[in-house]
Amino acid sequence: MDKTKSSFLAGLMTGVLLACVLGAFVIKPREKGGAGGKIVFKLGHGLDESHPVHQGMLFMKQRLEELSDGRATIDVYSGGVLGGEVDCLEQVQKGELAMTKVSTGAIEAFIPEMKVFSVPFAFRNAEHFWNTMHSPVGEKILQSGMALNFKGLCYYDSGDRNFYSTKVAIRSVDDVKGLKVRVMNSRSAMDMIKAMGGSPCPINWGELYTALSQGVVDAAENNPPSFITSKHSEVCKYFTLSGHQRIPDMVIVSTKVWDGLPMDIRVALQTAASESEIFQRKLWKEKTDECLKEAQAAGVEIITPDIESFREACAPILKMEEYADVRALYAEIQEVK
C-alpha cells in the first residue's frame, strides 16, 4: 500500500473513531489558519447561566482557548438541555458527551466512595475541606471513577448545608428534637436528622416553599444562595450556620475522550479546569456573603450554634453497616491538617 492510500485510510479511521463518540467533541477547521483543526468539547450541566458554577465553566472555556492557542474550546450547555445530572453522567460514561458537572451526591450511585461527602461533619470547616480536596486523599477521590470512564478534573464549591427554620431557632442539637425537617431524598440525610432526634421529610424542592409556609415541615437545610433564590427567607426567620455537610461538585471528562487527546491539549484542559476552580470558589464566597447579608436585611436571624452537640449526636452514623465502605476513607480525611 502506498503512502497516499495509507494516509487516506488513517484519516478515514480517525473520522470513524470520532464519529463513535457521538458528538462528545467535534473538530472544526481552524478559524485563523494554520495546520490541524479546532477541538470543541461539549459540556452539559443543569444549572442556570447566572450560577457561579456556570460562570466558572465559562472561565475554563476562556483559559482553555488561551492555553491551547485557539486549538481547543468548550461549548457549554446549561439548564439541563442535554439532560439531568444522571443523564449527563451516563452520556459521559459512554463517550457520547465529553464533559459534565455533577454533584458528588448524584455520583454516589456510580462511585460508592463519594458517599463520604454525605457523612455529617466529615470536615471540620472550610479550610479542612479544601486542604483535603487538594491532598492525595482528595486526588484519590477525584480519580476514583476512572474504571467507569470518569476522569475528575477539579472540584467546584457548592458550599455547606445549614439548617433554617420557621418558628424554632436551632442553636444546638436539642432544638432539632421533634422538628419535621425537609431533607434530600438520600439515606445519609435521613439518618442525620434521625440521629438528631428530628423527623426527616424528603419533600420535593419545588414544593418546599409551600410546605414551610403551611407548617407541613418546621425546617429545612441548604446553602445560603439556595435559601435566598428559593425565597425560603420569606417564611423562615432563623438560619443556623451548622455546616453539617459539604457536598462539592466535580467537573469530569470522559476517559474515552481524554485518552484520545494530544498531550498538550490534556495539559491545557487540566490547567484550565484547575484555574477555573479558584475562580469559581471566589464567586461562590462572594455570592454566599451577599446572600447572608440579604437574609439579615430581610429580618432573618443568623445563628452560630453549638457545633459539638451536633457532632456528638451524629457520631454513631459512621458505625452503621451502610457506611462500612467509607470508614477507612473517612479516617484518612480526619488525618488531613
Distance CA 98, CA 70 (A): 18
Q: Which residues pair with 182 in a beta bridge?
A: 201
Strands, E assignment, the chain:
25-29, 37-44, 72-77, 99-103, 150-156, 161-165, 180-182, 199-201, 219-222, 238-245, 249-254, 301-303
pLDDT at position 23 is: 67
Place of cell 471513577: 145
> pTM for this one?
0.86
pLDDT at position 5 is: 45
pLDDT at position 48 is: 86
pLDDT at position 34 is: 43
Alpha-carbon dihedral of residues 267, 268, 274, 279, nearest 10 degrees? 170
**What residues contact 199, with CB distance under 8 A and at least 6 apart?**
178, 179, 180, 181, 193
Could you give the strand order of the β-sheet that contains 180-182, starting from the edge strand earlier in sequence?
199-201, 180-182, 219-222, 161-165, 238-245, 301-303
pLDDT at position 302 is: 98
Distance CA 304, CA 242 (A): 7
Q: Which of 240, 242, 190, 198 is nearest to 218 (CA)?
A: 198
- In which element (H, E) is residue 277 found? helix 263-297
Distance CA 140, CA 332 (A): 11
pLDDT at position 3 is: 46
Cell of 229: 433564590
pLDDT at position 280 is: 98
Q: Mean pLDDT of successive 10-residue segments in the chain (337 residues)?
A: 44 39 60 65 92 95 98 95 92 96 88 92 96 97 96 97 97 97 89 97 93 98 93 97 96 97 97 98 96 97 96 96 94 96
Distance CA 109, CA 147 (A): 14
Q: Which of 97, 162, 149, 151 is nearest to 295 (CA)?
A: 162
All structural domains of the chain: 3-110+145-157+248-287 (3.40.190.170), 161-245+306-335 (3.40.190.170)
